[in-house]
């Protein structure tokens, strides 16, 4: 008999222990930060492809390939990423059918659905990837710029495309750069080579000021300029030489003062704009001109560390403004070199921008001037009026621009493996983006942030960008019922289905409902959410990628497409509209039904009550940490349940006012009382209304806190 009783006691203890382990496991999962990886691989099997989410857990074990992120150490603020939008780029884009043209521009510049390219570099008059060489004033000797005009290729092609980009991204930054002054201002009266004559310094500065005003009249504000593209390269068409003495004299005597006098002193003047093999030039200009904000760099020669050299010697900003990919290169080779040197290399050397060369050209690598680049491959090739191809530069910039927002701070990251390069950023919304390139073979690396970590396998010669929210929980922590304002019924996986494609309906919810009625909101790092049902871990999504009204909503296995993403916008009064990112349509109850079983679909938002949703939290992840605290206390502390009257009995070694809080198995606070403790006497709280189960009780007296698990039978 005694043995049987002991066995039962052991069994009960084992049950309690196992129940507690389940809670611990569940709690860790709930509190873990969710991370979204995006991969581009050298073999092109993954092209900026979103992967299934992973979660931070406890940092345990060792890994020779460990990347550690430290958000407490910050560096430069990022202005953005993008391409040079040449006049030739605009010419080929302008020739596209309206639908495909709009899609191409959204692919590049849309902050939500596209690459979020946020800086556009343009040429002041012709670049070598223009259809001809031209300036804005071909009237020789017109030093007052009476004949200045944007009429011609820029007004025909460039400016209309910029205006369309501004609609897609109103916050776009425009960086403008001349390839040459008008020929009549130059020592050789040629588009190629030559220098700016000293007698025309004032006229050329006036040319810039006229340009700012003319662009402003078109609704285009210039964010920054460089006085000359590649001032040490006399061989391009157009091109112009300008040494450091000439550049600082031009800026200090004419360009800077004229810009300030005309009200354009807020436009950044960024010096140099050439290769990393020469640090003396930018240091000279930056240290000897109060008008200059910083220096810009390319990497056709030299080492990217030159940017740090200049920044440290001048305490001024540095920008990376150009690198091209060639038509004869390989995807994997070009992608890897640019990720290592341009994307990660320049940002780790203080670059505030990262820009690749031309945004788009045609299949013949044009348009271009007679002496222009004949091997430069655009980020996009426009094949014809209805077709375009995304090339390697699209993915080089996309791997960072999609996740690192303007205004982000670079933060510290370090790698223990030389083949794993990294750069990390904290966005204005607090989310973290970590860009990694694996230059070696396939490798399972460990990512560490604070006391948490996760392991992830990065394919050979591939980049992965990890996104996660900065806090321990999302903006919408825990699980929610999603309740229709019209019917007061909640989102429900029909028939408690466990299969991908299971129908979503509305149904009555009682006491928080079943797990097929509980939904978790996980940020995607771009201001949107994945909505995941607790019962299966499947994702709320439209049944296909259609943008039509009436498309049904299902639970689906994760895929890297926008039909899985939702924006949640407050309507006030505790109600929200929930919009599908792919279609822009609202979550909607079919036929404005109030019946159980009515289908959930997406429909153009009209403000109807069947499109307004209340989010009722039924599991709060923020409290769950209490459920995994180790049981602590002292010999003078005791806590137990009196089974005869269902009172919680508490004895603490200290007197005075205190607090008792009881948490259930899900980590929710189910009971909270303020109580007076008297040393040596038991305090008691009635818990008769609590259901049977395991609880964690946290007791705080006048001196300290205690916690202990108890089982109510």
Question: Does residue 322 have an active-site annotation?
Answer: yes
Of the candidates 344, 253, 244, which has an alpha carbon nearest to the alpha carbon of residue 304?
Answer: 344
The CA distances from residue 50 to 14, 41, 437, in Å, are 42, 12, 16
Question: Does residue 230 have an active-site annotation?
Answer: yes
Q: Give the C-alpha separation, 242 to 249, whole Å.
A: 10
Angle of helix 392-401 relative to helix 331-338, nearest 10 degrees, comes to 30
Catalytic residue among 322, 356, 563, 619: 322
**Token pair of 452, please?**
């948490």
DSSP string covering 363-402: TTS----TTS-SSEEPSEEEEETTEEEE-HHHHHHHHHHT
b/e code 583-621 from CB counts within 10 Å (16+ = b): bebbbbbbeebeeeebbbbbbebeeeebbbbbbebbbbb
The CA distances from residue 440 to 60, 346, 444, 482, 686, in Å, are 24, 20, 11, 46, 63
- Per DSSP, the three-state class of 7 is helix
Q: Give the C-alpha separation, 454 to 57, whole Å.
A: 6
Q: Is the peptide bond before 238 cis (omega within 30 degrees of 0)?
A: yes
Residue that is written with structure tokens 């942030």 in the block: 449
Q: Give the C-alpha separation, 55 to 522, whole Å.
A: 11
Q: Give the C-alpha separation, 466 to 522, whole Å.
A: 14
Catalytic residue among 230, 356, 619, 661: 230
Handedness of CA 330, 333, 339, 343 (dihedral sign): negative
* 244 CB burial (10 A radius; 0-12, 13-18, 19+): buried
Q: Is the peptide bond before 367 cis (omega within 30 degrees of 0)?
A: yes
Does residue 382 contact residue 94 with C-beta atoms inside 8 Å? Answer: no
Residue that is written with structure tokens 């009172």 in the block: 647
Instruction: Tell me, rounded to whole angstroms, the distance of Cα 188 from its chain centroid.
Output: 48
Does residue 566 contact residue 601 with C-beta atoms inside 8 Å? Answer: no
Does residue 83 contact residue 117 with C-beta atoms inside 8 Å? Answer: yes
Residue that is written with structure tokens 């621009």 in the block: 401
- Which residues in 303-350 belong to E strands, given as ranges? 317-322, 325-326
**Contacts of 46-51 spanning 24+ positions with Cβ under 8 A:** 46/459, 46/462, 47/390, 47/395, 48/395, 48/398, 48/399, 48/402, 49/560, 50/559, 50/560, 50/561, 51/560
- Per DSSP, the three-state class of 313 is helix
Catalytically active residues, by annotation: 230, 322
């Amino acid at each position: 008999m005694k043995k049987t009783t002991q066995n039962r006691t052991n069994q009960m203890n084992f049950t309690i222990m196992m129940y507690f382990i389940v809670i611990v496991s569940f709690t860790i999962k709930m509190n873990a930060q969710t991370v979204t990886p995006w991969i581009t691989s050298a073999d092109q099997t993954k092209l900026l492809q979103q992967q299934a989410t992973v979660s931070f857990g406890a940092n345990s074990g060792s890994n020779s390939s460990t990347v550690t992120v430290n958000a407490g150490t910050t560096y430069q603020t990022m202005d953005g990423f993008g391409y040079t939008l040449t006049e030739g780029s605009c010419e080929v884009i302008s020739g596209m059918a309206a639908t495909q043209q709009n899609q191409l521009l959204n692919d590049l510049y849309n902050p939500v659905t596209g690459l979020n390219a946020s800086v556009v570099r343009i040429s002041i008059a012709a670049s070598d990837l223009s259809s001809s060489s031209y300036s804005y004033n071909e009237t020789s000797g017109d030093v007052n710029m009476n004949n200045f005009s944007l009429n011609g290729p820029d007004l025909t092609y460039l400016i209309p495309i910029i205006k369309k980009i501004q609609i897609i991204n109103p916050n776009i930054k425009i960086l403008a750069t001349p390839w040459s002054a008008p020929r009549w201002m130059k020592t050789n009266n040629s588009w190629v080579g030559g220098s700016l004559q000293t007698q025309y310094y004032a006229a050329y500065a006036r040319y810039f000021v006229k340009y700012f005003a003319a662009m402003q009249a078109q609704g285009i504000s210039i964010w920054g300029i460089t006085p000359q593209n590649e001032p040490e390269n006399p061989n391009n068409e157009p091109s112009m030489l300008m040494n450091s003495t000439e550049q600082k004299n031009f800026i200090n005597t004419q360009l800077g003062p004229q810009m300030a006098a005309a009200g354009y002193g807020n436009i950044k003047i960024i010096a140099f704009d050439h290769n990393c093999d020469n640090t003396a030039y930018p240091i000279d200009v930056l240290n000897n001109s109060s008008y200059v904000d910083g220096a810009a760099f390319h990497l056709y020669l030299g080492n990217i560390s030159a940017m740090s050299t200049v920044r440290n010697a001048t305490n001024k900003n540095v920008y990376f403004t150009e690198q091209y990919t060639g038509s004869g290169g390989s995807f994997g080779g070009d992608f890897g070199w640019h990720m290592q040197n341009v994307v990660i290399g320049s940002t780790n050397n203080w670059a505030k921008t990262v820009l690749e060369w031309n945004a788009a050209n045609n299949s013949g690598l044009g348009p271009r001037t007679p002496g222009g680049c004949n091997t430069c491959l655009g980020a996009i090739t426009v094949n014809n009026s209805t077709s375009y191809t995304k090339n390697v530069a699209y993915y080089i910039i996309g791997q960072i621009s999609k996740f690192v927002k303007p205004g982000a701070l670079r933060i510290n990251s370090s790698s223990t493996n030389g083949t794993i390069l990294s750069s990390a950023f904290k966005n204005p919304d607090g989310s973290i983006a970590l860009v990694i390139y694996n230059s070696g073979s396939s490798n399972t690396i460990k990512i560490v942030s604070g006391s948490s970590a996760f392991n992830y396998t990065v394919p050979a010669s591939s980049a992965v960008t990890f996104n996660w929210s900065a806090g321990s929980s999302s903006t919408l922590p825990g699980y929610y019922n999603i309740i229709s304002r019209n019917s007061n019924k909640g989102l429900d996986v029909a028939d408690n289905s466990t299969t991908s494609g299971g129908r979503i309906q509305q149904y009555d919810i009682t006491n928080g409902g079943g797990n097929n009625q509980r939904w978790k909101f996980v940020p995607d790092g771009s201001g949107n959410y994945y909505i995941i049902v607790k019962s299966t871990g499947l994702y709320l999504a439209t049944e296909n990628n259609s943008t039509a009204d009436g498309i049904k909503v299902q639970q689906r296995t994760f895929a890297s497409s926008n039909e899985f993403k939702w924006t949640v916008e407050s309507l006030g009064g505790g109600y929200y509209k929930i919009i599908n990112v792919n279609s822009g349509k609202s979550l909607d109850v079919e036929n404005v039904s109030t019946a159980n079983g009515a289908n959930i679909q997406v429909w153009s938002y009209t403000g109807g009550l069947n499109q307004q949703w209340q989010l009722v939290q039924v599991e709060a992840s923020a409290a769950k940490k209490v459920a995994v605290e180790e049981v602590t206390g002292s010999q003078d502390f005791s806590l137990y349940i009196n089974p005869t009257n269902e009172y919680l009995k508490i004895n603490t070694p200290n007197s005075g006012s205190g607090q008792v809080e009881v948490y259930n198995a899900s980590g929710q606070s189910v009971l909270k009382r303020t109580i007076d403790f008297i040393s040596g006497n038991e305090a008691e709280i009635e818990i008769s209304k609590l259901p049977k189960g395991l609880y964690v009780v946290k007791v705080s007296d006048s001196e300290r806190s205690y916690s202990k698990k108890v089982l109510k039978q």
